[in-house]
Amino acid sequence: MPKRKLDPLPSAAFQILLSLAAEDLHGYGIMRQVAEQTGGRMRLGPGTLYSSIQSLLEGKFIEEVDVRGDAKLGHERRRYYRLTAAGRKLARSEADRLAGWLRVARAKKILRGDYV
Amino acid sequence: MSEKIYALLLRLYPSHFRVSYGEAALQLFRDRARDEKGFFPTVRLWLDLLADLAISVPREYRHVPQALLAASASRRLGGAPSFFVLEDESPRPGAFFFGGALTLLAVAGFSIGINHAGSYAGKVAIWSGEPASRAANSSPGVATSSPFESRWRAMLERLGICQPRAWQMKPADADRAMNSAAGAAMKPDTAQRRLVIDGAIANVKAHYVDRDVAQKVAEALRAHEKNGDDDAATDGTAFADLLTRQMREVSHDMHLMMVYSQAKIPDRQPEPAPEELARYRTAMEQGNCTFKKVEILPHNIGYLKLNSFPDPSVCQSTATAAMASLNRADAVIFDLRDNTGGYPQMVVLIASYLFDHPEYFYNPREETTRRSWTASPVPGNKLADKPVYVLTSSSTFSGAEQFSYDLKMLKRATLVGETARGGAHAGVFHRIDDHFGVGIPETKAINPFSTADWAGVGVEPDGKVKAADALKAAQKLAENNLRKK
């Protein structure tokens, strides 16, 4: 059986990395942050979310920081995740890659205007 | 409630995922359910969850947990292979139970499958095999005709309903059908009769060879039903006989008939199993494909005793070899006294040696096709102009009668012996319900010789002698014939 691959980086994993860029979040927090930063286009289901988290953890791109309650969400204890240095690097290289495609698209006049 | 449903769905994930993230996933579900209230958000939530399941469950199963990857076989203690414990917990008792139950089920399913594999039913068209009366005292040796003929089939044969597409039952069912056919005691009520009549009408209209007659049969059945003529039927058999009479009154077709079986009629015909084919093949090989005797009698008369017309796909080489060894004979005697039929293709194959040009070989059970013509001339064959004698008895049946009848009608052979048994036509059996079926002739082959064939009356020999004396008589005829030349 093949090991789960993060190469190429699935967009779910990329969004999770991005969501953790500013602050440590628990699973539901990540889901909401991803929904927010994608304009509601990507709502991560539990299966996709946690399997992505699992691969990112295995690749040491994120890490579990602590288990604590969320003041806004009652007293259930949650696992929080934090972006590691490797994770930040991975997210940056992915963003660079996308930016590269964007330049190509712009050069081919696919994008109208200059708003991106 | 919905949380319970999701908890159940989570069980679809592999255990390593459930152990690590099951609780977290459930919590995420609780969070979303709490935040997204109302009809549309709830629908959206469930759509999300189902899409998520569809995508991530297969992915989880492809994923190998790191623990497994870490446990490589190269790690050894002192060079000896060793095993590592990956799971701390032993499996749940429930897992053992399910595993055991599944194993039992698989084993049971396998053995049931073996026992109930359908009987070999032949490929295209099996001429009737053993008539029931012969089954008991059939001649010695292997396979008088087809070793897989069931008694059920024999019963249909006796009733005049045997299908060109061989139609069979498991032997156990056949036994029950045979035993119960006599002691039918059920009195069909009006509703049941209606169902059977409806079924018969539908089948006759759909399958009967002549549409106008089919319409007349349908009207007759309806009229009798309306007049209350069917009330006289006291049981299934009587009712079936009554319907048969009603159908024949207007169609004058003796092959249109209703059948009642107290035992359940299986709703589909089983496929021939490869092992049945293998068994047939072995039986044929051991019995020299029922080519019982191939010899040259005094005065260079070739003699072939053939007890069936076996499947050419198994027996073609045997047939070719037999005909080749008779090639230099001055006359040929075909002994079909114990021949109860078989495959029409073999009938035509053997007949091919007796002509120097393709000859139409009439077969009342099949539509006229290219295969209805003999493959004459056969290269290297010298028998095309030699006198031919066919020995028949009252047991000669079906395919063997076709061989005799066609050669007689083509004036290619002299038939010596007794009037043959008379098995020609057959209807195709159509099941109506568990107990009733209707036999319907579906094909009408062109008979170039006569309006009537040998159905019911048998093939008349040219020289009528007792079957036991037929060989001597034919030898004498052949010798006289050869002396004249």
CATH at residue A33: 1.10.10.10
Q: What is the pLDDT of residue B271?
A: 64
Instruction: Identify whether A28 is part of a domain.
Output: yes
- The model's pLDDT over B194-230, given as tens digits with 9 standing for 90+, comes to 888 998 898 888 888 788 888 999 999 999 888 888 8
Q: What is the pLDDT of residue B483?
A: 86
pLDDT band at B387 (very low <50, low <70, confident <90, very high): very high
The mean per-residue pLDDT over the stretch B119-139 comes to 39
Which residues, 6 or more positions from B41, have their beta carbon under 8 angstroms from its beta carbon? none
Mutate to test the interface with A, among B63, B64, B68, B69 (most CBs of A within 10 A): B63
- The model's pLDDT over B68-92, given as tens digits with 9 standing for 90+, comes to 655 555 555 566 666 666 666 677 8
Whether the predicted pLDDT of B451 surpasses 60: yes
Cα torsion angle, A93, A98, A102, A103, sign: positive
Q: What is the pLDDT of residue B165?
A: 38
Q: What is the pLDDT of residue B71?
A: 55
Number of domains, chain A: 1
Tell me whether A49 touches chain B (CB under 8 Å): yes
CATH number at B280-427+442-484: 3.90.226.10
The mean per-residue pLDDT over the stretch B457-484 comes to 88
Note the residue count of chain B: 485
Q: What is the pLDDT of residue A112?
A: 65
* Least reliable range by pLDDT among A70-74, B180-184, B253-257, B311-315: B180-184
Instruction: Identify whether A55 is part of a domain.
Output: yes
DSSP state letters, B320-365: HHHHHHTTT-SEEEEE-TT---B-HHHHHHHHGGG-SS--B---TT
Does an H or E element contain B234, and which?
A: none
Q: What is the pLDDT of residue B92?
A: 80
Residue B167: closest CA among B275, B266, B253, B281: B266
Minimum distance, in Å, between the CA of residue B126 and any CA atom of chain A: 52
- Per-residue H/E/C for B278-296: HHHHHHHHHCHHHEEEEEE
Does an H or E element contain B254, and which?
A: none
* Least reliable range by pLDDT among B102-106, B334-338, B423-427, B450-454: B423-427
The mean per-residue pLDDT over the stretch B440-462 comes to 76
Whether the predicted pLDDT of B129 surpasses 70: no
Q: What is the pLDDT of residue B180?
A: 44
pLDDT band at B263 (very low <50, low <70, confident <90, very high): confident
Size of interface A-B (CB pairs under 8 A): 74
With b for 16 or more beta-carbon neighbours within 10 A and e for fewer, the A100-110 pattern comes to: eeeeeeeeeee
The mean per-residue pLDDT over the stretch B181-199 comes to 72
Nearest to B51 among A27, A45, A79 (CB): A45
Task: Give the pairing of strands A25-26 and A77-83.
Answer: antiparallel
Name the closest residue on chain A to residue B30, using Cα atoms: A28
Tell me whether A40 touches chain B (CB under 8 Å): no
Amino acid at B366: E
Please give the Cα distance from B243 to B259 (Å, whole number).
Answer: 9
Please give the Cα distance from B51 to B228 (Å, whole number).
Answer: 62
Whether the predicted pLDDT of B146 surpasses 90: no
Range of the domain at A90: 11-107
Does an H or E element contain B37, and which?
A: none
Whether the predicted pLDDT of B317 surpasses 50: yes
Please give the Cα distance from B378 to B382 (Å, whole number).
Answer: 9
Nearest to B62 among A1, A31, A43 (CB): A1
Q: What rounded mean pLDDT belongs to chain B?
A: 78
Inter-chain contact B55–A79, Cβ cutoff 8 Å?
no
Spans in chain A with pLDDT lower than 70:
1-5, 73-74, 112-116
Residue B163 or residue B395, greater confidence: B395
Q: What is the pLDDT of residue B64?
A: 65
What residues form DSSP beta bridges with B415? B390
pLDDT band at B425 (very low <50, low <70, confident <90, very high): low
Q: What is the pLDDT of residue B174?
A: 40
Tell me whether B55 touches chain A (CB under 8 Å): yes
Q: What is the pLDDT of residue B125?
A: 39
pLDDT band at B362 (very low <50, low <70, confident <90, very high): confident
Q: What is the pLDDT of residue B335?
A: 94
Alpha helical stretches, state H, B356-469: 399-409
Residue B423: closest CA among B351, B352, B342: B342
Inter-chain contact B31–A28, Cβ cutoff 8 Å?
yes
The mean per-residue pLDDT over the stretch B445-450 comes to 76
- The model's pLDDT over B95-127, given as tens digits with 9 standing for 90+, comes to 889 999 999 999 999 988 887 765 444 333 344
Minimum distance, in Å, between the CA of residue A109 and any CA atom of chain B: 35
Share of chain B above pLDDT 70, in %: 77
Whether the predicted pLDDT of B258 surpasses 60: yes
